[in-house]
């Protein structure tokens, strides 16, 4: 399934990554304070990884349906982070995100998450959208809470080699419609 190539969700614009984004991706992602909360970000984030990751996006869209978006600021186009949207959820749910530390607290993850949920409900017939976060990831918990994702259950999972507690959160289509975009 093809999802939109660009999505305006002020204060962010979501767009496909371009090869030229690689140095910014590496600069933002090569940070343990970002990586340690994620399942998939390599650490350290070595030279060449961003280029390879971006080069694989077109194939991933076809193969797994995952769409990786650059989260950019509408004001100046600055790349601040990444969002993955998965119409077919994997073990981490329908979406995941990270924001470079210099841009935390600007509302970017919340805007990107609202856009992700809106896209998923608009482009699929899913009854509900779900995602996961480490229980002690208070920033991510707050982002999901602000977007109407309620805690469904707690699960222990292996995270970066250690057993850790996760919250699985979700929102039903009807609840999303009632929120009309999470006010």
Ligand X SMILES: CC(C)(COP(=O)(O)OP(=O)(O)OC[C@H]1O[C@@H](n2cnc3c(N)ncnc32)[C@H](O)[C@@H]1OP(=O)(O)O)[C@@H](O)C(=O)NCCC(=O)NCCS
Does position 24 interact with ligand X (CB under 6 A)? The reply is no
Residues 6+ apart with CB under 8 A from 170: 128, 129, 130, 131, 149, 150, 152
Residue 54 or 115 with smaller CB distance to ligand X:
115
Does position 104 interact with ligand X (CB under 6 A)? The reply is yes
CA-atom Rg of the chain in angstroms = 15
Q: What minimum distance in Å lies between the beta carbon of 155 and ligand X?
A: 13
Does position 109 interact with ligand X (CB under 6 A)? The reply is yes
φ/ψ of residue 70, rounded to 5: -75, 130
Does position 38 interact with ligand X (CB under 6 A)? The reply is yes
Give me 50's structure tokens.
């961003």
Q: Which residue has the tokens 């998450």?
A: 113
Q: What minimum distance in Å lies between the beta carbon of 62 and ligand X?
A: 25
Whole-number Cα distances in Å, 166 to 39, 158, 169: 11, 10, 9
Does position 53 interact with ligand X (CB under 6 A)? The reply is no
Q: Quick one: which segment of 3-11, 51-59, 138-146, 157-165 binds ligand X (CB under 6 A)? A: 138-146
Which positions lie near ligand X, rule CB under 6 A?
Answer: 34, 37-38, 97-99, 104-110, 133, 137-140, 142-143
């Amino acid at each position: 399934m093809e999802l939109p190539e660009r999505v305006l969700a002020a204060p962010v614009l979501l767009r496909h990554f371009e090869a030229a984004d690689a140095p910014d991706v590496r600069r933002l992602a090569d940070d343990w304070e970002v990586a340690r909360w994620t399942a998939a970000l390599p650490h350290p984030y070595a030279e060449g990884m961003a280029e390879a990751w971006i080069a694989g996006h077109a194939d991933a869209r076809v193969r797994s349906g995952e769409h990786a978006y650059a989260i950019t600021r509408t004001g100046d186009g600055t790349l601040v982070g990444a969002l993955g949207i998965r119409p077919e959820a994997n073990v981490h749910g329908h979406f995941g995100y990270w924001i470079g530390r210099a841009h935390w607290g600007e509302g970017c993850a919340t805007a990107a998450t609202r856009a992700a949920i809106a896209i998923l409900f608009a482009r699929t017939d899913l009854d509900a959208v779900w995602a996961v976060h480490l229980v002690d990831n208070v920033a991510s918990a707050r982002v999901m809470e602000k977007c109407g994702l309620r805690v469904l259950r707690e699960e222990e999972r292996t995270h970066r080699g250690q057993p850790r507690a996760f919250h699985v959160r979700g929102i039903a289509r009807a609840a999303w419609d009632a929120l009309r975009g999470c006010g």
